Chains A and B, each alone.
Chain A
């Protein structure tokens, strides 16, 4: 049985903000199925009482001193932006006009 259906892959593409084509969906569904069947082997390990590891370095709450330091200028920070206006990143419309007004 397939680990993942074409419909689930289409849903994942939407969640991942990827406007994949129909042709890509066919390819991805097969490939992701093979990969998922392989990685599912982790389920063979008895690990109910084992604590998870998210990170190999046991450091917590690493904070710097709260002092003013040099940082990027607004011009530098915006230097790679696809679109900028009034010292801000300019983005496409987020709200419908009737909602925004």
Chain B
């Protein structure tokens, strides 16, 4: 029998629905794969073996009883450890939440359960989703299945590495500045940041609330679309959730897979052309542009003059929001408490708890945000960054008057060696140069594998207008049909 871990989610759902495989068999195959490879990859922080097998048995008994099953029933999924899971450890990659078991499910996880997917466990990430390599996880880095000496991207490196290592066919990430798309690019997998407000943030541990967007990760564009449909849509528990239906991303992925992009206008952002991308990345991107043209797309150059200020604006807005959001980790209601000896004051216990519980990148960003919001600096830093955010959004809307979607490399460089960028935090920040503008604007972005550079995967990013997520799925699926798949060497 062919190994069940080699199938796509769409194929696995079909096998289960037709009774050719049971959900328990599918789940056990992936649990076995995790046992075999995860000591080297370290994509998972927690594997919920019993919970997964229980969920799989439930799908099998419902099928046996003739009950209707959802389109992904019986398909395993791994969840980034930033989403709450009732009774299952949720750490956000931080020591401060090392022993926390949430009393409730996030909306995304509740919808995954309701759809009959099988949650295998929780994936590794940079602490509180701050980082581009998973090296800032308090529990040790994840390794890239393409080359175990390299990083898998971040912050959601665990979710993408688990896909590339065939430990799961589907996973969930969260994208604040590129944390789904950049790991997707460097692991040769598909990563989607939906429109902000298109997926619920309820139960997503907050980093930067105006930017945080949970989304689907998969090995194929269609699988990502199927998962997007399950998790997306209005949630009354999230006051920033858009009260509108999910765009028909599944139909768009199927349409794109036909490989015809006639009538689609794509824009290459002029300002990204000269911005420090590696030659191998640029070469793979140019080849992909040629492919898209052959598929019928019209590719033109567009100007987004304020995109060059996206990275500085982001590193004021995101840390500012994070310094406020992370104030809740004070050793009172959940998580770690350090130094409560009956003598120290509340403030001393808070400071000792946060000092012991937070890692270096979180401390940097909390302090940076505290600075940007402090009186005397607010207007020059945070206030100015918010104005630049407006100008970046206007660049997008002007561009979308001329083209249907924008394309760029997803990230300036392929997977780098573990340890190569931790000494200089700003060098790490550059990984998100091309992904950050979409977060500031709120529109969707997808990374799809487009080629290899020195044997390592390169991703192409498609950015679309808000609530036009279907457009980028069509373009990504067309490219995938022409260039894929890219399979890592056997582990």
Contacts and interface: CB of A to CB of B under 8 A. Distances in A.
B202 interface: no
B24 to A, nearest CB: 31
A48 to B, nearest CB: 8
Nearest to B363: A18
Given A56-B210, A80-B103, A93-B345, A42 B355 contact: no
A17 B323 CA distance: 11
Interface in A74-98: 76-77, 79-83, 89, 91-94
A57 B196 CA distance: 7
Interface in B340-372: 340, 342, 344-352, 354-355, 358, 360, 363-364, 366-368, 370-372
Interface of B is mostly: helix
Interface residues of A, number: 53
Interface stretch (B59-67, B183-191, B376-384): B376-384
Contacts, number: 179
A13 to B, nearest CB: 6
A55 B344 CA distance: 40
Interface string B383-396: 11111111101000
A66 to B, nearest CB: 13
Given A4-B371, A64-B236, A82-B340, A39 B316 contact: yes
B306 A45 contact: yes
A91 B171 CA distance: 38
Contacts of A47: 384, 387-388, 390-391
A32 B316 CA distance: 12
Nearest to B385: A42
A14 B366 CA distance: 11
B448 to A, nearest CB: 23
A35 B319 CA distance: 11
Given A18-B358, A31-B364, A35-B426, A82 B315 contact: no
A83 B340 contact: yes
A100 interface: no
Contacts of B316: 39, 42
B270 to A, nearest CB: 18
Contact of B388 (A45, A57, A77): A45
B351 A18 contact: yes
B323 A16 contact: yes
Given A12-B371, A38-B315, A82-B340, 16 more contacts: A9-B367, A14-B351, A27-B360, A28-B364, A35-B425, A35-B429, A39-B385, A40-B381, A44-B309, A45-B388, A51-B387, A52-B386, A56-B196, A79-B101, A92-B342, A92-B349
25 contacts: A16-B354, A17-B350, A19-B355, A32-B364, A34-B425, A35-B429, A39-B372, A41-B309, A43-B380, A43-B384, A50-B387, A51-B387, A52-B390, A54-B210, A56-B393, A56-B440, A57-B197, A59-B240, A79-B101, A80-B102, A81-B333, A81-B334, A82-B332, A83-B337, A91-B332
